[in-house]
């Protein structure tokens, strides 16, 4: 959701300077005792395994981890003890989740003060079982993001592993585009996030990225989509489309340009999001020749759809989004202010949201979900990302909401889980070591007391509400118990408790400042 940013050429060179946004607090060094391991030999005993490949649950099984690799799955003799053991009897073991569309921090929060620290974001993700993120945009700056990537890889910080994509900004010619991509590769970047550029610049950048083995993602912004939509991107070698912009435009069959009202202004975000909710209705109908033609070409190109349904859900019921139970106690104060209606902050467009807007967006969702389900049914790859930090979506919580929304779209729970794990690993080109629980892969696991396939709400840090028939009282149940990343065991509940403490401390600090200012 980040808006495209401008960046200037350094005078006298073709080196692209990076905007300095390093006032965001990086993750602190991982303190002693935060996370156990990795161990020479870790044995997880007696769990029910959902391995991420689409296979149904099976077990009980024992899993042996040596260092940060899975070395055995099966039955381990009780006498064959490990350096450390977890009794997972009756619990469920899943692959670590991959967040395919993540932003460590949201520069827009600076409108309302300091952005949330990275530790806050990392712990919300890990507390919800997210062990890998694809950072699409490097909003804190390329150098900052690559440094955090290296620190996470070395487990110097408590954080998911980071796959770093930088936002494509600055190049105005095909030659400059190639140089920009070459510099990103030399710096150690993993990929590029596009919003739009002239066709010759887009083509050159994607060609160079593919030559250098970089991945790519694109939010097809309306300012550029009239001459470069999803089909153009897929043909040029784009790895994935983000959200859904550019896909309906590729399926227009009675127009070439969206039906914008005469008074439309893209910079007015009420216009931007209000009219976006009327876009799918302008595209070809489900099952039509044009619908199938576009779908079949994307499938043939092995193109990935990363929809981030969750970040748009507030459009169909803003009051429900504003009152999600997890917002209480987990929302960083500046982030909470950023969510509220504002003409200054991106995505905070609720200054005159109407019933008609919500009805239009409900239909938008219906058509969008039908395409996603159809694409999945025909063998297409759909991944899970949350784009959290905008529009009443918190990190981690928003990601779990995406599970529910894909199930609403028609995905079987096992298909949803595969999108969150193995398909995410394929998207980043690391399926040989991530995305499923198999011998030889990295030890990234989620352990939870109850079966999440029966109810994805169990994965929320706040759990699911259930009536206790003994006491007659409603109670919360669920939540991830342990997140294992790279063989290191994290107490997921403690990570979320840390977040609540951080938020409470920041609220208290702001209250003290306000009191002192009043004096």
Q: What is the 3-state secondary structure (H, E, C) of 249-293?
A: HHCCCCCCCCCCCCCCCCCCHHHHHHHHCCCHHHCCCCCCHHHHH
Would 310 be classed as within a structural domain?
yes
Would 322 be classed as within a structural domain?
yes
Short-list 410, 461, 412, 502, CA closest to 130: 461
pLDDT in tens, 220-241: 999 999 999 999 999 999 999 9
In 3-state terms, what secondary structure has residue 398?
helix
Would 5 be classed as within a structural domain?
no
Does 290 share its domain with 212? yes
Does 447 share its domain with 340? no
User: How many Cα atoms occupy the beta-carbon half-sphere of 296 within 13 Å?
Assistant: 7
- Tell me the pLDDT band of 8, cut-offs 50, 70 and 90: very low
End-to-end Cα, the chain, rounded Å: 40
- Chain centre to alpha carbon of residue 17: 27
pTM of the model: 0.94
Q: Is residue 11's pLDDT more than 60? A: no
pLDDT in tens, 136-184: 999 999 999 999 999 999 999 999 999 999 999 999 999 999 999 999 9
Does 269 share its domain with 376? yes
Mean pLDDT for 406-430 is: 98
Q: Is residue 124's pLDDT more than 60? A: yes
pLDDT in tens, 476-504: 899 999 999 999 999 999 999 999 999 99
Would 339 be classed as within a structural domain?
yes
Does 81 share its domain with 202? no
Number of domains the chain is built from: 2
CA dihedral 235, 240, 243, 244 (to 10 degrees): 20
pLDDT of residue 1: 42
Contacts of 116 (CB under 8 A, 6+ apart): 105, 106, 109, 332, 334, 335, 389
Mean pLDDT for 25-36 is: 94
Q: Is residue 433's pLDDT more than 80? A: yes
- Containing structural domain, residue 460: 39-94+437-503
Q: Is residue 15's pLDDT more than 60? A: no
pLDDT of residue 502: 97
Does 143 share its domain with 62? no
Q: What is the mean pLDDT of the chain?
A: 93
Q: Is residue 2's pLDDT more than 80? A: no
CATH at 253:
3.20.20.140
CA dihedral 474, 478, 462, 401 (to 10 degrees): -110
Would 55 be classed as within a structural domain?
yes
User: How many Cα atoms occupy the beta-carbon half-sphere of 78 within 13 Å?
Assistant: 1
Residue with tokens 């050159």: 204
- With a pLDDT cut of 90, the percent of the chain lying above it is 86
Would 509 be classed as within a structural domain?
no
- With a pLDDT cut of 70, the percent of the chain lying above it is 95
Does 297 share its domain with 378? yes
Does 108 share its domain with 189? yes
- Tell me the pLDDT band of 519, cut-offs 50, 70 and 90: low
Does 144 share its domain with 290? yes
pLDDT in tens, 239-294: 999 999 999 999 999 999 999 999 999 999 899 999 999 999 999 999 999 999 99
pLDDT of residue 82: 85
pLDDT in tens, 300-321: 999 999 999 999 999 999 999 9
Does 89 share its domain with 100? no
Q: Is residue 12's pLDDT more than 70? A: no
Would 327 be classed as within a structural domain?
yes
Does 224 share its domain with 330? yes
Does 391 share its domain with 456? no
CATH at 463:
2.30.40.10
Lowest mean pLDDT among 30-44, 110-124, 178-192, 439-453: 110-124
In 3-state terms, what secondary structure has residue 131?
strand
Would 225 be classed as within a structural domain?
yes
Mean pLDDT for 30-46 is: 96
Does 398 share its domain with 441? no
């Amino acid at each position: 959701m980040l808006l495209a940013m401008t960046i200037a050429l350094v005078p006298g060179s073709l080196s692209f300077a990076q905007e300095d946004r390093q006032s965001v607090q990086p993750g602190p060094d991982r303190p002693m005792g935060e996370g156990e391991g990795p161990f020479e030999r870790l044995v997880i005993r007696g769990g029910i395994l959902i391995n991420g490949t689409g296979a149904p649950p099976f077990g009980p099984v024992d899993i042996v981890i040596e260092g940060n690799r899975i070395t055995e799955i099966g039955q381990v003799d009780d006498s064959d003890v490990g350096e450390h053991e977890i009794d997972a009897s009756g619990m469920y073991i899943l692959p670590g989740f991959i967040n395919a569309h993540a932003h460590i921090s949201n520069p827009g929060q600076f409108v309302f003060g300091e952005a949330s620290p990275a530790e806050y974001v990392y712990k919300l993700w890990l507390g919800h079982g997210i062990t890998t993120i694809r950072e699409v945009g490097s909003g804190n700056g390329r150098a900052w993001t690559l440094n955090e990537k290296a620190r996470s890889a070395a487990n110097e910080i408590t954080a998911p592993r980071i796959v770093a994509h930088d936002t494509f900004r600055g190049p105005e010619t095909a030659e400059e585009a190639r140089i920009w991509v070459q510099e990103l590769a030399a710096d150690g970047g993993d990929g590029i996030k596009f919003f739009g550029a002239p066709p010759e610049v887009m083509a050159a950048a994607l060609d160079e990225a593919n030559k250098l083995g970089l991945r790519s993602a694109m939010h097809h912004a309306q300012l550029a989509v009239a001459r470069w939509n999803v089909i153009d991107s897929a043909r040029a070698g784009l790895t994935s489309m983000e959200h859904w912009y550019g896909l309906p435009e590729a399926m227009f069959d009675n127009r070439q340009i969206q039906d914008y009202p005469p008074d439309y202004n893209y910079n007015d975000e009420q216009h931007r999001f209000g009219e976006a909710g009327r876009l799918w209705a302008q595209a070809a109908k489900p099952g039509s020749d044009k619908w199938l033609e576009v779908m079949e070409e994307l499938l043939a190109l092995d193109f990935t759809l990363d929809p981030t349904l969750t970040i748009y859900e507030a459009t169909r019921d803003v009051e429900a989004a504003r009152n999600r139970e997890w917002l209480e106690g987990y929302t960083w104060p500046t982030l909470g202010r950023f969510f509220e209606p504002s003409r200054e902050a991106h995505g905070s467009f609720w200054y005159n949201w109407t019933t008609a807007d919500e009805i239009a967006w409900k239909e938008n969702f219906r058509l969008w979900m039908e395409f996603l389900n159809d694409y999945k049914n025909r063998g297409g790859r759909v991944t899970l990302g949350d784009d959290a930090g905008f529009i009443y979506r918190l990190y981690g919580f928003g990601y779990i909401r995406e599970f529910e929304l894909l199930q609403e779209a028609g995905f079987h729970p096992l298909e949803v889980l595969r999108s969150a794990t193995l398909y995410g690993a394929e998207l980043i080109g690391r399926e040989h070591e991530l995305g499923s629980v198999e011998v030889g892969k990295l030890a990234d696991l989620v352990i939870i007391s109850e079966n999440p396939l029966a109810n994805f709400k169990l994965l929320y840090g706040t759990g699911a509400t259930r009536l206790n028939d003994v006491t007659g009282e409603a109670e919360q149940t669920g939540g991830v118990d342990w997140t294992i990343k790279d063989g290191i065991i994290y107490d997921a509940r403690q990570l979320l408790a840390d977040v609540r403490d951080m938020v409470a401390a920041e609220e208290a600090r702001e209250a003290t400042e306000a009191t002192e200012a009043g004096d």
